[in-house]
Structure 1
Amino acid sequence: MSLVQQLLTIAFAASANFLTRVVPFRLFQRGNQTPRYIQGLGEFLPGAIMVMLVVYCLRNVTWLSGNHGWPDLIACTITILVHLKWRSLFASMIIGTTAYILMVNFVF
């Protein structure tokens, strides 16, 4: 990649990033009522994205081969239980990830 191509790529990426942050504020300015479908997306998408991430992370787990599925299953269970107890996304992610890393490296 030449220097000009690199600079153009950076310029396009920066412009796209900037536009995705500015456009919603221009479309939904103060005083205007946010459309109902946008409010519905705000309620629906966070859970849907989390489910999609879980499916993506567990897609290649070989559940019936040795003990490969146990760390994943235990870490998911710990994450769910921590989230149900404290309702903290940060705590559930950190504790679940730490549990998984410890199990993969030291237990299984």
Structure 2
Amino acid sequence: MIAVVAVATFATRAASFLVFPKGKEIPPAVKYIGMVLPPAVIGMLVVYCLKTTDVLTYPYGIPELISCLVVIALHVWKRNIFLSVGAGTVLYMFLVQAVF
């Protein structure tokens, strides 16, 4: 199963080099999708993660809010997605396990 996933991942990554060889102009539609898709995916992940947050009962979404603010602040400050998401995840787990 791991080999199949590895081959499929490699094939999808290699396909872009076959479709758009070096020196060939990338179509504007593909450039546009490459520009808007990453923020759209992040937005969908945020909505998915926060959709079950109940703000009417204790802890009122406070751990989620604090973690989101830390992720945003770290990303604006350091521009490192691994640091910001990792720290936000660790902080959220700490808050729900030890504080709230």
TM-score interval for Structure 1 and Structure 2 normalised by the shorter chain = 0.7 to 0.9
88, 94, 98: which is aligned to 1:102?
A: 94
- Kindly state the Cα deviation for residue 13 of structure 1 after the two structures are TM-superposed: 5.2
| Larger gyration radius, structure 1 or structure 2 | 1
Identity of aligned residues (%): 39
RMSD: 1.9
- Kindly state the Cα deviation for residue 68 of structure 1 after the two structures are TM-superposed: 4.6
Cα 1:42–1:66 shift into 2, 3 Å:
same
Q: Give the alignment's TM-score, normalised by structure 1.
A: 0.81
18, 23, 44: which is aligned to 1:52?
A: 44
- Alignment partner of 1:89 is 2:81: yes
The equivalent of 1:74 in structure 2 is 66
Structure 1, unmatched stretches of 5+, are 1-8
The equivalent of 2:19 in structure 1 is 27
Aligned residues: 100
Q: Give the alignment's TM-score, normalised by structure 2.
A: 0.87
Q: Distance in 1 between matches of 2:86 and 2:4?
A: 34
The equivalent of 1:63 in structure 2 is 55
